Amino acid sequence: MPTSPADPAVTVRDDRAGRWAPWWVLAYVALWPLPGIAETVLGLGAVYAAARMVMRRLQRRPHLLSTAAWALTSILFLGYWLPQAFSAFDAIDPAASWTKAAAGLRYLPFMWLVAIAVATPERRRLTFGGLALITAAWTLDALVQALAGTSPWFWSLEQLKLAVSGHALCPADEAAVADRLSGALGPCNLKFGQVLASLSPFLLLPAARRFGNTGWLLAAAALGSVLLLAGSRASWITFALVLGYSGVRQFGWKRLAVLAMVAVLGAGVLTASVPQLRERFARTAMAWDGGERGVDEALSGRARIWEAAVCMIEAHPVNGVGARGFRDAYPACVADGGPAVWGNAPALHAHQIVLEILAETGVLGLLLWLAAVAQAWRAWRYAPAAARERARPAMLALAVTVFPLNTHLAFYSAFWGGLTVLLAALFAGSLLARESDDTPTAV
């Protein structure tokens, strides 16, 4: 695969081509609180990007992507999509798996669209700047919710929905049982912590670059406070990785260790004053109370889910039970041990990226994922320093999102799958964009 970010044969001669791409990407992200509309934006953007690229090729006009960016984006897509396709042949529910695989094809032109959005300095500034603005706005919105009890962002969307359809985005009875800060996504979609943690590099790194140590500290404090209150322990691990990577670069190990101790003290004060946060830490402490039940309670029932995932891997080692087939295979893999922590409903996914890939797509799927990871690492390793620097926020966001020593949302779901391929395309497009000052590194 070409790894040079510059390809003289296809140099862009029309800087204004593709100027629509950043706005499409930002609209998709901003509409995540409305998942159905966001999915529509993704689908329409994919169709539009595919049509534009085909038309430009037929008209022999300059390409919107460098050869290297197009190749890496396509390889990352194949690493994500091919496991779905191979798992569908003997899936638990073949019709559902083939439907999922067919729908997943929309991600290829969408990833091209995202890569186009960061293919030039002007578009990249707009896209990354817009992501930083959205992340900052959602952080401030969540801080307001922590103080006032209501997210202005979600409240505004809900009032708009009520005015248009007469129905609320989140029924009152479901909103009442939310046990954490829900932010812009609302109390019926408690993924805010994971989403904000994955987007945090787009705010933290530019804040440090523009405002120095003060900018990093303010952004880290605001994001950290919100993520603690959002209550997702997976997001705490994700954000800790972001802080560790960026903090070492900003302060060095020694000063970062001092800041970490201050942060722990601050988290302790916040925990003492917020009952829901105390409950989270108390639940985590149950892992040391002894017994399988305590560990399962501490993990919110994930120990039972992971045992079921291992059962599926043993029964379907080659290509798994089928993408999103976890819920169908779950009942046959669970011993009768009483109701789970979450109730009697089957688990929807493995809650861990490696187990999800192995259970749903098998060893073949894991090998394809690892092949895509290897290509991404190779492109990063041989890219010029300037290319790595401009792609660093996207690289960090992608790396912490797929970090294997954590718990995760479902990577083959529409919501989290869309976020993951978005980050992958931002990484590939920004790393291998054409820049006149880049010097290709020989492989």
Q: What percent of the chain has pLDDT over 90?
A: 65
Q: What is residue 7's predicted lDDT score, i.e. its pLDDT?
A: 47
108 falls within a domain: yes
Average pLDDT for residues 265-291, to the nearest whole number? 78
Q: What is the mean pLDDT of residues 324-329?
A: 91
Q: Is residue 162 part of a domain?
A: no
Q: Is the pLDDT of residue 6 over 60?
A: no
pLDDT one-digit tens code per residue, 165-176: 888 888 877 776
- pLDDT at res. 295: 66
Task: Give the model's pLDDT for residue 163.
Answer: 86
Burial status of residue 27 (CB atoms within 10 A of its CB: 0-12, 13-18, 19 or more) = middle
Q: Choose between 147 and 276: higher pLDDT.
A: 147
Residue 1 lies in a domain: no
Q: How confident is the model at residue 335 (pLDDT cuts 50, 70, 90)?
A: confident
Rounded to whole angstroms, how far apart are CA atoms 435 and 383?
12
Question: What pLDDT is stored for residue 257 in this prediction?
Answer: 94
Task: Answer yes or no: is 55 within a domain.
Answer: yes
Query: What pLDDT is recorded for position 439?
Result: 44
pLDDT score of 4 more than 50: no
93 falls within a domain: yes
Quick one: pLDDT at residue 109? 96
- Tell me if 173 is assigned to some domain: no
pLDDT number for residue 267: 87
pLDDT at position 342? 65
Strand partners, 340: 343
- What would the pLDDT profile of 385-396 be if each residue is shown by its tens digit? 999 999 999 999
Domain assignment of residue 167, yes or no: no
Domain total for the chain?
1
pLDDT digits (tens, 9 = 90+) for 193-252: 999 999 999 999 999 999 999 999 999 999 999 999 998 889 999 999 999 999 999 999
Task: Identify the weakest region by mean pLDDT among 35-39, 342-346, 370-374.
Answer: 342-346
Distance in angstroms (rounded) separating the CA atoms of residues 180 and 410: 20
Query: Is position 77 within any domain?
Result: yes
Task: Tell me how far apart the alpha carbons of residues 49 and 55 are, in angstroms, rounded to a whole number.
Answer: 10
Choice among 21-30, 106-115, 258-267 with the minimum mean pLDDT: 258-267
For residue 291, what pLDDT is reported? 62
pTM score of the predicted model: 0.92
- % the chain with pLDDT above 70: 89
To the nearest whole number, what is the mean pLDDT of the chain?
Answer: 88
Rounded to an integer, the average pLDDT of 128-143 is 98
Could you list the residue range(s) of the whole structural domain that residue 276 is in?
Answer: 8-148+180-431
